[in-house]
Structure 1
Amino acid sequence: MRQFTDSEALSGIVPEALGAGVRVVRVDRLRGGSKKGVYRVHTSGSRAASVIVYSWAEAEDFWPAAEAVDPAHPFAHASGLAPFLAAQRRLDGLGVRVPGVLLADDSRRRYPADVAVVEDIAGGTLEALLETDPARASHALNELAATLDLMHQQHSQHYGRVDLLERGDKASGDSCEQLVLERAVEDLAEAAERDPGIGSAAAPLHVRLEELATRVAPRTQHGLIHGELGPDHVLVDASGHPVLIDIEGLMFFDVEWEHVFLRLRFGDRYPALSRPGLDPARLDLYMLAMRLSLVAGPLRLLDGDFPHRTVMREIAEHNAKAALALLVH
C-alpha cells in the first residue's frame, strides 16, 4: 500500500517556505500525477492562502522501474528536483510564466524526499477553461502560441534535457530522428505484445517507421521544447496568462516533436498553435512514433498500481487505432 504525505509531514517544510507562524490547515492531493506527488496545502497566518508542494518521493512515482536506462537519453524518465529547477530557471529567465519557487530542498532533513514549495496558480487548467470560458481560453491560447514561438526560437546545436546540458554533459544518440526511430521500434515491440491489433500489424508498422525515417534530412539546430505540453499542463492565472507546469522534461530537440504532441492534445484548437516551416518528413515519422508511444506507455503504467486505469486504457486503445490508420496513408 502506497503511503503518501499528509499535513503532519508538511508542517515543517511549508512554514519554512512561508515564514514562522504559518500553520497547515488542510492538504489536498491533486489528481493526475504519475511521477511525483502534487499537493495543494491550505494555510493560515500567511498572505498565501495556499501553496503547491511537489514531492518526488519514491511512493509517488507509479512508473515501473526500467532496466538499464541511460539517464542522458532525452527520453529517459524526466523526474526530480534537479531537472525541475533547471527547467524553471531557464523558462523564467526567458520570461515564460512558470510557478514561482518558494523553497526547494533535497537535504531530506525537514521532509523525507526531494521537495519543492511553489506558487499556487488559482485559475485552473487551460483544458478546463476551454470548456467553461472559451473567450478567456482563446486569449490564453494565443498567448501560449507566442510563448511557444519564444521557446522554439531558442536554438542549440546540441539536443538533450536542459539540466543535462547545463552540467556540460552530452545527450546520448546520434540525432533526434534516430532516437525517435529507436524508441518507436521499442514501443512497437512492447505494444505488439499487449495489444492484438498492433501485434497483427507489427511487421508493416516496422517497415513504415523505417521508410519514414529514410525521408528525414540531417539537422544541426534544435529548439527548446516542453516535451509533453497538453492543455492539462497549462494553468491560467488570475490575469488570464498561461503558466506552464510539469516542466521537468524541458529539452532542446526537434520542434516537430512538440508540434505532434500539441496537435494530438489540442485537437480542433491546434491551428492557433500551428506554425509554418515545420519539416513534413519529421512530422510524419514523429506522429507514428508518438502514437506508438501512447500505446506502450499507458499499458506499461497499467502493469503497476496506477489508480486511474480506465483513462490509461482508453488512451492506449485510441492511439492503437490511430497508429494502424497511419498505415493506409
Structure 2
Amino acid sequence: MVRPRGVAGPRHRRPLTGVGAVGRPLPHDLAATVRAGLGRGVDGAERLRGGSKKGVYRLRLDDGSTVVAYVWAEAEDYWPQAVRGADDADPLSHSSGLRLFEAAHRRLTALGVRTPRLYEVSRSGDGDGDRGADVALVEDVPGPNLEALLDADPAAARRPLERLAEVLDTLRSDTGPGVGKVALLDEHVNGHQVQHVDEHAPARTAEALVLARALADLDEAAARDTRMAAARDRLAERLHERVERVPRRARHGLVHGELGPDHVLVGADGEPVLIDIEGLMRFDVEWEHAFLRIRFGTHYELLRPRGLDEHRLALYDLAMRLSLVAGPLRLLDGGFPDRAGMLAIVEHNLRAALAAAATAWRDPKGAPSPLSRAAAPGAATPG
C-alpha cells in the first residue's frame, strides 16, 4: 500500500462531524472509509476551500499522516440540479463524479502525468463508508498550488510552469478520433462496456458544440444583465463570424477542461500535479488554451505551444468569456458561499465580451470575414 504523507502535529482526537474551514458541518462518515481502506483511525478533518462540485477534506490520521478525501454527494455540489443533471455524452457538460475521476486518473497515470496518487475508493451503497456518497482517498501533496506560488514568488514558479508546458504537450500529443469525456470514450469503464459516441455526426464537432453552448450562455447572460441584452445580437454575430473560419479536424488531443493555476499543485520536487481532473476529455486543445490564456495572464507565454489554430482560438476565447459570465451566475443560484468572488469573475469576463461585441471582426490570419464581405465588400462589419 502507498503510505499517506506524514506530518508533525498534536495527537488529540477531534470529531469528524465538527465544522470545517468554510463553516459547514462535515456530513460524511469518512472515518469508515479510511478504516476500511487504509486500516487507520482519523484524528481530525479540515474542509478545504474552493470545491463547487465535490467536497474536499484533509484528514489527519492516527499515525500523524494526512490524506485528502474527495466526496461526491448531493450536499457537496453547489450547482443547480438542472446543471448537474446534464448528459455526460456532452463533453462540455457538468463534470463530476467518481466514475469520471477514476477514468481520468487511469489515463493521466498511463501517460506519466502526475495527479495525486489514489489510495482507496468507496462507492455509494458499499458496505463500508457513507451510503450517500462516493469517496476517493488520495495523496495529500505538500506545497502550494501554482496560483499561490505565482503570487508569492514568480521566479520560483518558472520551472513548474515550464514543466506544465511539457505536460500540456503530452496531453496534446495523445490524439484520437472524436470528442468526448475520457470515461465515455474508453472501451471499458469500471469493467463495463460503454457505447462510443458518434464522432462523425456534424453536431459532435468541437466547434459546433462550443458554438451551441456559447449561444445558450449568451441567451442566459442576456436574460440576467441589461448590458448583455443590449449586445446580444452583436455577440451572436461575432460567434458566427468566428465559427465560419474554423476548418474541420479529424483528430483531437486531451484537455483537462478547467486548468487554472489553482488546479495545479506544486510537489516538493517542483513538479506540477493536476487536480480536479474529472473533466478530462478528448477535444480541441485550443479550448484548453483559451482558458489558460485567461487564467495565467502574462505567464501564459511559457505555456503557449506552436501550431495552435488561431481561428479556433478566436472562437473559443469569446465562447469562454460567455461561459465565465453565465457559469458563475448559475453557480450562485446554488448557494455558493463566495458570492463576491464569483461576481468579480462575471464582471471581468462580461467586460471582455462586451469589448469583443464592440470590435469589428479582424481575422487572426489576415483574411476578411465572410460575413463582413457579404455586408459590404471591402468593409468591416459595423461594431
TM range (shorter): over 0.9
- Give 1:134 deviation, angstroms: 2.3
Q: How does 1:28-67 map to 2 (within 5 A)?
A: 28-45=46-63, 49-66=65-82
Correspondence for 2:174? 154
Correspondence for 1:253? 283
SS in 2 for 1:70: coil
Correspondence for 1:138? 158
C-alpha distance in structure 2 between counterparts of 1:14 and 1:135, whole Å: 39
Q: How does 1:116-127 map to 2 (within 5 A)?
A: 116-127=136-147
Q: Could you tell me which of 170, 185, 189 is aligned with 1:165?
A: 185
Instruction: Assess if the C-alpha contact under 8 Å between 1:3 and 1:59 holds in 2.
Output: no
1:232 aligns with 2:262: yes
C-alpha distance in structure 1 between counterparts of 2:233 and 2:155, whole Å: 46
5+ residue gaps, structure 1, are none
Stretch of structure 1 that moved more, 98-107 or 33-42: 98-107
Instruction: Assess if the C-alpha contact under 8 Å between 1:4 and 1:60 holds in 2.
Output: no
Stretch of structure 1 that moved more, 291-300 or 110-119: 110-119
Letter of the 2:120 counterpart: L
Query: How many equivalent pairs are there?
Result: 323
Deviations 1:37-71 (A, max 9, x none): 0000011226xx11000000110000001277333
Distance 1:171 1:54, change over 3 A: farther
C-alpha distance in structure 1 between counterparts of 2:198 and 2:285, whole Å: 17
Aligned-pair identity (%): 53
C-alpha distance in structure 2 between counterparts of 1:222 and 1:198, whole Å: 33
C-alpha distance in structure 2 between counterparts of 1:240 and 1:171, whole Å: 40
C-alpha distance in structure 2 between counterparts of 1:106 and 1:169, whole Å: 24
Under a length normalisation based on structure 2, what TM-score does the superposition of the two structures give?
Answer: 0.81
- Give 1:135 deviation, angstroms: 2.8
Distance 1:4 1:37, change over 3 A: farther
C-alpha distance in structure 2 between counterparts of 1:12 and 1:269, whole Å: 43
1:90 aligns with 2:107: yes
SS in 1 for 2:247: coil
Letter of the 2:241 counterpart: E
C-alpha distance in structure 2 between counterparts of 1:64 and 1:282, whole Å: 30
**Structure possessing the higher relative contact order (Cα contacts under 8 Å, 6 or more residues apart):** 1
C-alpha distance in structure 1 between counterparts of 2:62 and 2:154, whole Å: 34
5+ residue gaps, structure 2, are 1-22, 187-193, 361-383
C-alpha distance in structure 1 between counterparts of 2:156 and 2:171, whole Å: 23
- Give 1:268 deviation, angstroms: 0.4
- Give 1:5 deviation, angstroms: 2.8
Q: Could you tell me which of 329, 349, 352 is aligned with 1:319?
A: 349
Letter of the 2:36 counterpart: E
Instruction: Assess if the C-alpha contact under 8 Å between 1:136 and 1:240 holds in 2.
Output: no
Letter of the 1:116 counterpart: A
C-alpha distance in structure 2 between counterparts of 1:4 and 1:192, whole Å: 36
Correspondence for 1:194? 224
SS in 2 for 1:78: coil
Letter of the 2:347 counterpart: E
Instruction: Assess if the C-alpha contact under 8 Å between 1:74 and 1:171 holds in 2.
Output: no
C-alpha distance in structure 2 between counterparts of 1:3 and 1:316, whole Å: 25
Letter of the 2:45 counterpart: V
Deviations 1:78-106 (A, max 9, x none): 10000000000000000000111100121
- Is the radius of gyration larger for structure 1 or structure 2? 2
C-alpha distance in structure 1 between counterparts of 2:338 and 2:313, whole Å: 30
C-alpha distance in structure 2 between counterparts of 1:305 and 1:131, whole Å: 28
Letter of the 1:213 counterpart: V
Instruction: Assess if the C-alpha contact under 8 Å between 1:98 and 1:243 holds in 2.
Output: yes
Stretch of structure 1 that moved more, 131-140 or 157-166: 131-140
- Give 1:326 deviation, angstroms: 1.2
C-alpha distance in structure 1 between counterparts of 2:356 and 2:292, whole Å: 18
Correspondence for 2:120? 103
CA RMSD after TM alignment: 1.6
Distance 1:309 1:171, change over 3 A: farther
Instruction: Assess if the C-alpha contact under 8 Å between 2:160 and 2:266 holds in 1.
Output: yes
